[in-house]
Structure 1
Amino acid sequence: MSIGDALKADLSSFSPQERRVARVLLADYPRAALGTSAELAAAAGVSPPTVVRFARSLGHSGFPALQQALLDELSERVASPLSLYEDSRADRAEGHWLDRGVQVATASITQSLTAIPTAELDAAVTLLADPRMRVRAVGGRFSGHLAGYLARHLRQIRTNVSAPDDGQTIDAADVIDADRRDVFVVYDFRRYQTSTVERATELADAGAHIVCVTDEWLSPVAQAAEVVLPTSVRSTGAFDSAAAAFVLTELLVDAVLDRLGPAAVERMRRWEAASAHEVLA
């Protein structure tokens, strides 16, 4: 869990003055804490010693240690496959690759999905199950396949669901036509795609509801999103894993199906009848 996630989860253990520091940091995360302690204190309207106490309340020895932790988060946020490969080389000699991979994937899925607040999950399902909403799923270069997977399943249980042909393009028409009747599910993971971030912000400004499925460091899309669903991308190799996001996608479909009930089941029945000729009997 990132420092920002920890602060969002619970501020009750901090003093009122420390909470002011936390809110300033969260409002401009993590940049607000990358200057001097005096600058952060001034922005929060507190004394520099309060900033030091805030850092210690987070478990750090002082403000420099907090800054280093934030810088380490930034480094992880922009990690490339090449740097991930170099970092993982030492672990590759330990045991069989399958055993390592299964262990890491299982832990990542369980820990990250159970850490998502149920209120966020329920809010996502409410938006996706609302028959008045138009749902469009989009992703990036690699996450576009997740967007397409979500859309193809939702189309079988409700109307007004779409995804770009390549799974990853939010075009000008999307922005021009967007309003409060639209839900965009945006998949965006580290080494975030600039065009996706910019378009998502424009969609939110137009009134569309944004559901952001992202990693533990949070895509900038999260700042414009109504619902944020962080998932772990941890893997044992050079490339980030989409396993947790994939499982979350399947669970969302199941939850929407349960929420829609008989109407969705009837649509599934008609869907199967219409596509019966496409499968082996």
Structure 2
Amino acid sequence: MNDGAVAAPTDQVSGLFQGVRLTPTQRRIAHCLVQHAPTVAYLSAAEVAELAGVSQPSVTRFAVALGHDGYPALRRRLRELTAGAPDGPADAGNELQQAVRAEIGNLDRLAGQLADRERIAETGRLLAASRPLPVLGLRAAAPLAAYFAYFAAKVHPDVRVLDDGGSLLTDRLEQAAEAGAGALLAFVLPRYPRETLDALREARAAGLRVVAITDSPVSPATEHADVVLPAAVGAQLVFDLHTAPMTLAMVLLQAICDADPADTQRRLEAFEASAARRQLFLG
């Protein structure tokens, strides 16, 4: 974000929850506030409760957990945060253009988060050192896990995609830990499959450190992850857009490559030699 720029409503509201330990119910409320900023600043506690699918007392307790006397005080704070936030251009175009522009905004916010290069670099070193490296993605997150793993396998000796749930998932997590894995990369995206969160708990029980790429700093993944890397999901179309999470995945892969440049170069050269010998590509 450029100096002097007005932060987007979602960024302003997300800042309220940084460093605050929230219960699962409170995370649902926080996620609701982020998703519906700035309009939520003008809703009653009962309306917020209905929107988040929780009880009205839960909304009040949530406000107190953030350091306010009650929900009215929180609502005043929300109005302060979003009063000067831009709602977008006056002529935003049709609904398809609006969806694409919203993704541009998601990418812009992601770029701002990446100003802290050391955090990404440290996470890259953690994942690069994990041998094997399990990569978890269930349901809607499965294609992202496969996409990341396809490229990661070119620079990492043992990448294991975990894209099927069921009883075998825990077996595969335990097998990865027994084989020497130290970390798990998990893609946790709406609608947050229950099996994914169960798998994160199992991974930590097996001694793995969990790195989660998820859509919000208050998503359900935060309770079960050691490192949370948020990237917003576009929700303007019938099905979600995952542009920012996929971009973040490739940024993280770059950090893995940077963790050991010499080994990365050696592995890439070996792959290119093999590809040329087998004539894998036309160009």
Q: Secondary structure at the match of 2:258?
A: helix
Tell me how far 1:139 sits from its aligned partner. 0.8
Residues 20-99 of structure 1: pairs in structure 2 closer than 5 A: 23=20, 26-31=21-26, 35=57, 51-52=68-69, 56=73, 58=74, 60-61=75-76, 95-96=93-94, 99=97
Tell me how far 1:278 sits from its aligned partner. 1.5
Q: Per-residue CA shift, 1:182-239, capped at 9, x if unaligned?
A: 3211111121101111111111122101111111264423211111011111243122
Structure 1 contact 211–226 (Cα < 8 Å) conserved? yes
Equivalent in the alignment of 1:201: 201
Structure 1 contact 2–217 (Cα < 8 Å) conserved? no
1:43–1:243: structure 2 CA closer, same or farther, 3 Å change rule? closer
Distance in 1, matches of 2:60 and 2:146, equals 48
Q: Secondary structure at the match of 2:140?
A: coil
Q: Per-residue CA shift, 1:81-125, capped at 9, x if unaligned?
A: xxxxxxxxxxxx962455333322111111134236545423321
TM-score, normalization: structure 2?
0.68
Equivalent in the alignment of 1:125: 124
Distance in 1, matches of 2:105 and 2:232, equals 9
Tell me how far 1:3 sits from its aligned partner. 8.4
- 209-218 vs 193-202, which deviates more? 209-218
Equivalent in the alignment of 1:72: none
Structure 1 contact 120–229 (Cα < 8 Å) conserved? no
Tell me how far 1:38 sits from its aligned partner. 8.6
Distance in 2, matches of 1:146 and 1:42, equals 37
Give the partner amino acid of 1:160.
Answer: D
Name the count of aligned residue pairs: 229
Equivalent in the alignment of 1:143: 141
- 195-204 vs 104-113, which deviates more? 104-113
1:94–1:194: structure 2 CA closer, same or farther, 3 Å change rule? same
Q: Secondary structure at the match of 1:185?
A: strand
- 205-214 vs 179-188, which deviates more? 179-188
Distance in 2, matches of 1:243 and 1:134, equals 27
Report % sequence identity.
Answer: 21
Structure 1 residue 107 corresponds to structure 2 residue 109: no
Tell me how far 1:241 sits from its aligned partner. 0.9
Equivalent in the alignment of 1:90: none
Q: Per-residue CA shift, 1:15-44, capped at 9, x if unaligned?
A: xxxxxxxx5xx2425439863799679999
Distance in 1, matches of 2:182 and 2:201, equals 14
Distance in 1, matches of 2:260 and 2:16, equals 35
Distance in 2, matches of 1:43 and 1:216, equals 19
Distance in 1, matches of 2:263 and 2:58, equals 58
Distance in 2, matches of 1:274 and 1:9, equals 47
Distance in 2, matches of 1:96 and 1:196, equals 35
TM-score, normalization: structure 1?
0.68
Equivalent in the alignment of 1:266: 266
- 223-232 vs 100-109, which deviates more? 100-109
Q: Secondary structure at the match of 1:213?
A: strand
Q: Secondary structure at the match of 2:249?
A: helix
Equivalent in the alignment of 1:163: 161
CA RMSD of aligned residues (A): 3.5
1:94–1:181: structure 2 CA closer, same or farther, 3 Å change rule? closer
Q: Secondary structure at the match of 2:125?
A: helix
Q: Secondary structure at the match of 1:171?
A: helix
Distance in 1, matches of 2:169 and 2:92, equals 46
1:51–1:237: structure 2 CA closer, same or farther, 3 Å change rule? same
Instruction: Give the gaps of 5 or more residues in structure 2.
Output: 1-9, 30-55, 80-90
